[in-house]
Structure 1
Amino acid sequence: MKYNKIDGQHFLNMVTNASIRLENEKAYVDSLNVFPVPDGDTGTNMSMTFTAAVQEIQSSKSSSIGEVSKIMAKGALMGARGNSGVILSQIFRGIAKGLEGKDEVNPYEFALSMLEGSKSAYRAVMRPTEGTILTVIREVGEKATEYHTDDMTDLMSKIVEYADDTLQRTPDLLPQLKAANVVDSGGMGLLIILKGMYEALQSGFQMAEKLEEKSFEEYVAARDTHTEITFGYCTEFIVLAAPDNGEFKEYLETMGDSIVYVGYDDITKVHIHTDNPGLVLAEAGKRGELTKIKIENMREQHRNLQETPDVHEEMKAEEVKVSEPKEKEKYAFISVSMGDGIKDVFHDLGVNFVISGGQTMNPSTQDIVKAVEEANAEYIFILPNNKNIIMAANQAKEISAKEVYVIPTKTIPQGVAALTTFNPEADAEANYDALMASLETVKSGSVTYAVRDTEIDGKEVKQGDFLGLIENKIKLVKRELYPLVEELIESMVDEDSSSITLFYGEDVKEEEFNELVELLEEKYEDLDVMSVDGKQPLYYFIIAVE
């Protein structure tokens, strides 16, 4: 259908349809993660961000496109998760700026707002990388303003065409994408949004069908909270492959109970209660790419339900308050981490709020803002401990009226090192400088597994391989876990090293781990070798060398 102009309600319907499309295809976007590690979450982050934005305007009756887009931009800003979500929120913040004060717009005015979206996104990124979502929105904005038409549907058709063309060229701009044989995942998420907006116009605002996806709770019968739990971890995930001939289901039956194994088209959903979620995920990774991974400690939930039987809220990036000072303190710390053992470490180091999150579960800007607002202190320091949370932390800082300092910690070891440097007697600026300097004093390593075949920096990776990462870059690939850990540590230790700390995950066997520690103590007799039961999922080891 032809529309010479669109108003606020037209725009609301366009982005609502786009939100449905992105929700339906977020697992596909997740699967485009360049790294073969089990935490690709670009699609999930973008979908949760965009859903939060659209929810803000669902009840709006305004016909002003400037007003509707402004409210939506605020929703995106507060709901932004991960770097991709923050960049998406900035795109729509710029679009809202371009539509400001307008009740309705023609195609050229809308094209100008897309260009504003590009400028806003580029300003939000310290070191913009071409071949990403940034390139896609920039070229869309530039080409859209050069296209002349009086039909919004025609313009959106061209915008989708421009976005798709640019997306297909992203592997030529980023060698990592070419090596992994994928296009940029953030750019794909944006293309899906633009397609959804176009399809709304084309169809006369008929909304896309939301794919029905039964929750695992509907498959698994409710249980008495006083029943003894045989297997401790509720593990859910999706394999981006059709079900096999039954071999994997037979394997699952040897690993736990409460198994749900549902396949449709090229997707297989799995639910299992097991004591070894890492082994299950590694085996599943041999059959296809994994996404939507969720692991919950049922024994812990069981204890909490017995203590507070009226509480039934699912914990998602929920703030855990350690102390509630009656009088305003000088300093407060907010940290992000996964794994009960690692959270305990941060508690012991004086962190006031721990936000549950990290790999696979990035907290939103709103989650961080809420912790900032609840912190009763003159100066507040935020430790993201993950490169994909730093932008949301900085966005929370911009929103808050309080004195907030973001220490851009990318790893758990960096977060711990920063806290041990803190001096409660020093002023805020001196502490900021000291904490920033501490990031250079620790080397960070981690060990996980590959969820798909690929090639990274000349290294051939097969599904199920163990991966050794240093500063979030893959350095080693092996079929055996402990030889990889030994070699990874050896590459991290130098003549200036004084200590090695291993945070071991929930899937590490205690006997094998103790043997590793003994070996390291003998090999590095001049270094302090320390271990922490981090209880983190997905990552067998997080390693700090100082």
Structure 2
Amino acid sequence: MSILSIDGSTLKRMIIAGANYLEQNKQIVDELNVFPVPDGDTGTNMSLTVLAAAREVEKSDSNDVFEIAKAAASGSLRGARGNSGVILSQLFRGFSKGLQTHSTIDTVALAEAFEEGVKTAYKAVMKPKEGTILTVAREATEKALQLSLETDNIEEFLKEVLSYAHTVLKKTPDMLPVLKQAGVVDAGGRGLLYIIEGALKALSSKEDIHLEESVSAGISKGSYSALSTISNEDITFGYCTEFIINRSENNPSQISELREFLNSIGDSIVVVEDDEVIKVHVHTDHPGQAIEKGLTFGSLTNMKIDNMREQHSNKVIVEEIKESKPQEKKPIGFIAVSIGEGIQEIFKGLGVDYIIQGGQTMNPSTEDILTAVEKVNAEKVIILPNNKNIILAAEQAQQLSKDKEIFVVPSKTIPQGIAAMIGYEPDHSIEETLESMNESMSYVKTGQITFAVRDTVIGDREIKKGNILGMDEGNIEVVSDNLEEAVYELIDKIVDEDSEIVSIYYGEDVKEEEAIKAKEYIEENYPDCEVEVHFGGQPLYYYIFSVE
């Protein structure tokens, strides 16, 4: 018997079934990712996004078509993770708008809702690429609009749309050379078709369908219990010391002299300057000596000294209380996405109010970002995504926030985020602040050392799982079997005679003495370049290099 319309209860089952089917097949979609580095995978991100949509649908008491679609849109918007998840949420959002005046859905209404979804998704992406999920959705919609005038049988209609969409998906390698070289179709497009396939399976079924929850449905807030195993004696330097030096007009300070002195009395050193001020952050057992040295360069402001050993002793007990303790309201607050104890400490030292645990393989959702915004007591909040796959989710949070103004500085890497914070100048307008942070970010080049998680071919490089990869601004430039050799080779690609400062952030799987070797290599081969070594503590990435 022909199915001529979809009511609210059927739409509800279809959305839940689509989410379940992608969840069952997300690993297949993940394996279509061309880039072999450990990063947020498309299938996982899309699955988490559509599961958030289905969760809202499942708990809705309504059987109204528009209310069900609206619930899916709301859930997916807040649950969106990664760029593919954000695009998927925009497809749901437009789909919902397209059903605003419908009590049931026929083929024409379905095609028009698809069309609204595609329009909304394209608006959300600044530079859409052909050969992606957007292409698959657009061309499938064009076919749907044509078929909607030829048949009123929804099951027949969806089968033909799906068949055509698979044809388009198979063509995506011809649209994106990187797909062709790797011999795969677009991962986002494949994920979308799994959702439609699952929805189609539920169309003619009358049985109840329940959501199959993902075991990886969220990012944990982090456990502080492990801190109790750390002794105070393991904290090398006890005082986090920060201050700003107002440069005296008759003192052309040698910032290298200041860095060298601070290095002799502590670690986790951040020293940055402009024409008027020098910002200083150091962990030391002698904060007085750091301040005295600072006074030789000019007058001091914004001085802050925290006893880290005392903080550590109380942290396990008071962490939850501390998070909920009211803070003094600020005109501008800052949120950074980061992972790694050392890197997080640096961000906090530079004035970041709240750290969202995330980054590679852990792309926070729009909801995670909105929750963080609520915790920052400020009229305006600036977000540093520090990962290209988190920028769209941050921008989506910007649009959804009702109580606070959110601004996104589109940092793609940790060094860019740190540079942006260094570029922040208090008492400036928000426009001047954003301009200054973006400008500071533009002066930084990022290098990264990680490992391959799958076999693939990139350009003329054949990459095997487990190879050490060196990346320059996200492009794989080094493939090696040896970590130390890869480090030196990448350094020679990202550092040159014009480089002034290199900061090395070493990860949780790297020993400090190994990072010191990298520092010595740079000092020997690039003698005019200042080198700083910081414990980053980041997982998956052995090293992150910042080159200015």
Name 1:49's counterpart in structure 2: 49
**Of 482, 488, 491, which residue of structure 2 is paired with 1:489?**
491
Please tell me the residue identity of whatever aligns with 2:523: E
3-state SS of paired residue (1:131): coil
For 2:494 and 2:538, the matched residues in 1 are separated by: 21
**Structure 2, unaligned stretches of length 5 or more?**
218-224, 231-311
Question: For the structure 1 residues 397 and 211, does the alpha-carbon distance in structure 2 shift closer, same or farther, using more than 3 Å as the test?
Answer: closer
Please tell me the residue identity of whatever aligns with 2:57: I
User: CA offset at residue 544 of structure 1?
Assistant: 0.3
Name 1:249's counterpart in structure 2: none
Question: For the structure 1 residues 40 and 399, does the alpha-carbon distance in structure 2 shift closer, same or farther, using more than 3 Å as the test?
Answer: closer
Name 1:317's counterpart in structure 2: none
For 1:226 and 1:426, the matched residues in 2 are separated by: 38
Name 2:432's counterpart in structure 1: 430
Question: For the structure 1 residues 362 and 521, does the alpha-carbon distance in structure 2 shift closer, same or farther, using more than 3 Å as the test?
Answer: same
Question: For the structure 1 residues 372 and 27, does the alpha-carbon distance in structure 2 shift closer, same or farther, using more than 3 Å as the test?
Answer: same
| 1:349 has 2:356 as partner | no
For 2:330 and 2:442, the matched residues in 1 are separated by: 29
The answer on whether the counterparts of 1:323 and 1:352 sit within 8 Å (CA) in structure 2 is: no
Question: For the structure 1 residues 66 and 169, does the alpha-carbon distance in structure 2 shift closer, same or farther, using more than 3 Å as the test?
Answer: same
User: CA offset at residue 483 of structure 1?
Assistant: 1.6
3-state SS of paired residue (2:442): coil
User: CA offset at residue 91 of structure 1?
Assistant: 0.3
Please tell me the residue identity of whatever aligns with 1:183: V
User: CA offset at residue 204 of structure 1?
Assistant: 4.2
3-state SS of paired residue (1:105): coil
Name 2:332's counterpart in structure 1: 331
Question: For the structure 1 residues 364 and 212, does the alpha-carbon distance in structure 2 shift closer, same or farther, using more than 3 Å as the test?
Answer: closer
For 2:519 and 2:440, the matched residues in 1 are separated by: 26
How many residues are treated as equivalent by the alignment? 456
User: 1:204-256, CA deviations, whole angstroms, 9 ceiling, x for partnerless residues?
Assistant: 456499599899xxxxxxxx999989xxxxxxxxxxxxxxxxxxxxxxxxxxx
3-state SS of paired residue (2:334): strand
Please tell me the residue identity of whatever aligns with 2:123: R
Please tell me the residue identity of whatever aligns with 2:385: P
The answer on whether the counterparts of 2:82 and 2:363 sit within 8 Å (CA) in structure 1 is: yes
Name 1:112's counterpart in structure 2: 112
User: CA offset at residue 518 of structure 1?
Assistant: 2.1
1:36-435 correspondence to structure 2 within 5 Å: 36-147=36-147, 148-205=150-207, 207=209, 307=316, 321=323, 324-326=326-328, 328-401=329-402, 402-435=404-437
3-state SS of paired residue (1:25): helix
Please tell me the residue identity of whatever aligns with 1:8: G
Name 2:288's counterpart in structure 1: none
User: CA offset at residue 335 of structure 1?
Assistant: 0.4
The answer on whether the counterparts of 2:491 and 2:522 sit within 8 Å (CA) in structure 1 is: no
User: 1:320-358, CA deviations, whole angstroms, 9 ceiling, x for partnerless residues?
Assistant: 9598523x2111001001111111110111100100001
For 1:520 and 1:72, the matched residues in 2 are separated by: 53
The answer on whether the counterparts of 1:322 and 1:351 sit within 8 Å (CA) in structure 2 is: no
Name 1:8's counterpart in structure 2: 8
Please tell me the residue identity of whatever aligns with 2:29: V
The answer on whether the counterparts of 2:40 and 2:362 sit within 8 Å (CA) in structure 1 is: no
Question: For the structure 1 residues 337 and 93, does the alpha-carbon distance in structure 2 shift closer, same or farther, using more than 3 Å as the test?
Answer: same
User: 1:499-533, CA deviations, whole angstroms, 9 ceiling, x for partnerless residues?
Assistant: 11111111113333322222222222221111111
**Structure 1, unaligned stretches of length 5 or more?**
216-223, 230-302, 312-319
User: 1:106-154, CA deviations, whole angstroms, 9 ceiling, x for partnerless residues?
Assistant: 1111111111111111111000001000001101111011012111111
Name 2:234's counterpart in structure 1: none
1:452-491 correspondence to structure 2 within 5 Å: 452-491=454-493
User: CA offset at residue 458 of structure 1?
Assistant: 1.7
User: CA offset at residue 2 of structure 1?
Assistant: 3.0
The answer on whether the counterparts of 2:97 and 2:113 sit within 8 Å (CA) in structure 1 is: yes
Question: For the structure 1 residues 504 and 172, does the alpha-carbon distance in structure 2 shift closer, same or farther, using more than 3 Å as the test?
Answer: same
Please tell me the residue identity of whatever aligns with 2:130: E
3-state SS of paired residue (2:537): coil
Please tell me the residue identity of whatever aligns with 2:3: Y
For 2:111 and 2:438, the matched residues in 1 are separated by: 41
The answer on whether the counterparts of 1:159 and 1:194 sit within 8 Å (CA) in structure 2 is: no
The answer on whether the counterparts of 1:57 and 1:68 sit within 8 Å (CA) in structure 2 is: yes
Please tell me the residue identity of whatever aligns with 1:359: Q
For 1:111 and 1:75, the matched residues in 2 are separated by: 22
Name 1:252's counterpart in structure 2: none
User: CA offset at residue 456 of structure 1?
Assistant: 0.6
The answer on whether the counterparts of 1:111 and 1:144 sit within 8 Å (CA) in structure 2 is: yes
Please tell me the residue identity of whatever aligns with 1:381: I
Please tell me the residue identity of whatever aligns with 1:38: P
The answer on whether the counterparts of 1:118 and 1:138 sit within 8 Å (CA) in structure 2 is: yes
For 2:208 and 2:64, the matched residues in 1 are separated by: 21
For 1:431 and 1:381, the matched residues in 2 are separated by: 10
3-state SS of paired residue (1:158): helix
For 1:310 and 1:209, the matched residues in 2 are separated by: 34
Question: For the structure 1 residues 61 and 404, does the alpha-carbon distance in structure 2 shift closer, same or farther, using more than 3 Å as the test?
Answer: closer
For 2:226 and 2:508, the matched residues in 1 are separated by: 23
TM-score (norm 2): 0.79
Please tell me the residue identity of whatever aligns with 1:121: A
User: CA offset at residue 60 of structure 1?
Assistant: 2.2
For 1:155 and 1:521, the matched residues in 2 are separated by: 66
Deviates more, 1:521-530 or 1:351-360: 521-530
User: 1:180-207, CA deviations, whole angstroms, 9 ceiling, x for partnerless residues?
Assistant: 1111111111010000011111444564
The answer on whether the counterparts of 1:97 and 1:113 sit within 8 Å (CA) in structure 2 is: yes
The answer on whether the counterparts of 2:468 and 2:486 sit within 8 Å (CA) in structure 1 is: yes
Please tell me the residue identity of whatever aligns with 1:383: L
For 1:431 and 1:209, the matched residues in 2 are separated by: 45
Question: For the structure 1 residues 366 and 452, does the alpha-carbon distance in structure 2 shift closer, same or farther, using more than 3 Å as the test?
Answer: same
Question: For the structure 1 residues 208 and 413, does the alpha-carbon distance in structure 2 shift closer, same or farther, using more than 3 Å as the test?
Answer: same
Please tell me the residue identity of whatever aligns with 1:375: V
The answer on whether the counterparts of 1:421 and 1:434 sit within 8 Å (CA) in structure 2 is: yes
The answer on whether the counterparts of 1:21 and 1:208 sit within 8 Å (CA) in structure 2 is: no
3-state SS of paired residue (1:439): helix
User: 1:438-469, CA deviations, whole angstroms, 9 ceiling, x for partnerless residues?
Assistant: 22100011011112221112212122211111
For 2:518 and 2:102, the matched residues in 1 are separated by: 65
Question: For the structure 1 residues 376 and 208, does the alpha-carbon distance in structure 2 shift closer, same or farther, using more than 3 Å as the test?
Answer: closer
3-state SS of paired residue (1:332): strand
